Structure 1
């Protein structure tokens, strides 16, 4: 469980960094009614990255961690691109 919280924190931190340090717009959502968790990153009105996990509460822990880890990797890639463009 601790690993999942760490991944959630990384996702939130990366989304906040993209929002604060670039002109990318971020949204992180957890919808209890549809049981989904997701991230959406846009730039100039175009979606650059979107990842949604359906059946969020019903996922096995190891599969959920893998999906969250992939989200972190995708967001880190975007952050590195932003940093390279501004260097």
Structure 2
């Protein structure tokens, strides 16, 4: 499987988890007409995280993989913070 596709899957899964398990609103957009990728995580009106990749199809694959990996790492850190702040049920 293409590594970038795998990273997209992780980004979508983490965004869905945040949407489903928290009060955060997540938005992921791959816009072919604008040739861009955008992700946004908000808590009400407050932006928690956002990242925009312009000229998406023209990016070097290794650099794109680095950027997507960075997004995954940020989302994992947000998830970890949410899980640590949630009281555990015994």
1:36-80 per-residue CA deviation (whole Å, 9 max, x = no partner) reads: 101100002111100011110000100000000000001001101
Q: What secondary structure sits across from 1:29 in the alignment?
A: strand
Q: Provide the C-alpha distance between the structure 2 equivalents of 1:36 and 1:45, rounded to a whole number of angstroms.
A: 23
Tell me the CA shift for residue 19 of structure 1: 0.3
> Which residue of 2 is the match for residue 13 of structure 1?
13
**TM-score, L = length of structure 2:** 0.92
Equivalence for 2:66: 66
Greater than 4 Å deviation, 4+ residue runs: none
Q: Which moved more, 1:1-10 or 1:54-63?
A: 1-10
Q: Summarize deviations over 1:1-46 as a string: whole Å, max 9, x none.
A: 6101110000000000000000010000011222110110000211
Distance of 1:54 and 1:19 partners within structure 2: 25
- CA distance in 2: counterparts of 1:35 and 1:2, whole angstroms: 19
Unaligned runs of 5+ in 2: none
Structure 1: which 5+ residue stretches go unaligned?
none
Alpha-carbon separation, structure 2, partners of 1:31 and 1:6: 18
